[in-house]
Amino acid sequence: MASSRPRAPSAAHRPPARLRGSPPAGADPLIGDLRRGGLLALLVLHYVARGRCYGNQLRDRIAELTGGALSVNPNTMYPLLRTLESRGLITGAWEHPGRRTRRFYRITPAGRWERDRLSAELDVRLDRISRSIEAIRSEIADPAPR
């Protein structure tokens, strides 16, 4: 009886584990450029401007918005929230002041100004990445002549 499992491609037709010139696993040049440009701070300021939010809620919203392309671990989110709060861009208050539970954050007027500044700054990067992705899609949609 023949096996119904698909056969693996031969070594000659199998793609290499990692192509030369590719970034190491976990390194994403597109998202990395946006992260360095302040994307995470912008998204946090954006969401807290819409209404009070807490850290895990922000992490979930960012992951959902980006389809998981931008995942934020707690060791990144909570120091960022403390930094934004110490800079006066957001204010935080404990859900139950008598005990440490969830800390909810709201944007301040300075935070709104910073959100607008980051948005304008990142817009150029987002446009560049969008154009690059469309150019790549267009190029690979047209198969090479044989």
CATH code for the domain of 78: 1.10.10.10
* Domain membership flag for residue 24: no
* Domain membership flag for residue 121: yes
> Using CA of residue 84, residue 32, residue 54, residue 74, what is the dihedral sign?
negative
| HSE-CB for 44 with a 13 A CA cutoff | 31
Confidence (pLDDT) at 13: 52
Residue 117 main-chain phi, psi, to 5 deg: -65, -50
* Domain membership flag for residue 130: yes
Per-residue pLDDT of the chain (146 residues; tens, 9 = 90+): 555 565 655 555 554 454 444 444 455 777 887 888 899 999 999 999 999 999 999 999 999 999 988 889 999 999 999 999 999 999 999 998 888 789 999 999 999 999 999 999 999 999 998 999 899 999 999 876 76
Domain of 99?
A: 29-136
* Domain membership flag for residue 34: yes
In whole angstroms, give the CA distance from residue 111 to residue 44. Answer: 10
Residue 136 main-chain phi, psi, to 5 deg: -65, -45
* Domain membership flag for residue 96: yes
Cα-based torsion angle of the residue sequence 49, 50, 51, 55 in order, rounded to the nearest 10 degrees: -70
* Domain membership flag for residue 21: no
Q: Which amino acid is at 78?
A: Y
pTM metric for this prediction: 0.75
Confidence (pLDDT) at 25: 45
Question: Can you read off the two tokens belonging to residue 69?
Answer: 């392309």
* Domain membership flag for residue 144: no
Tally the domains of the chain.
Answer: 1
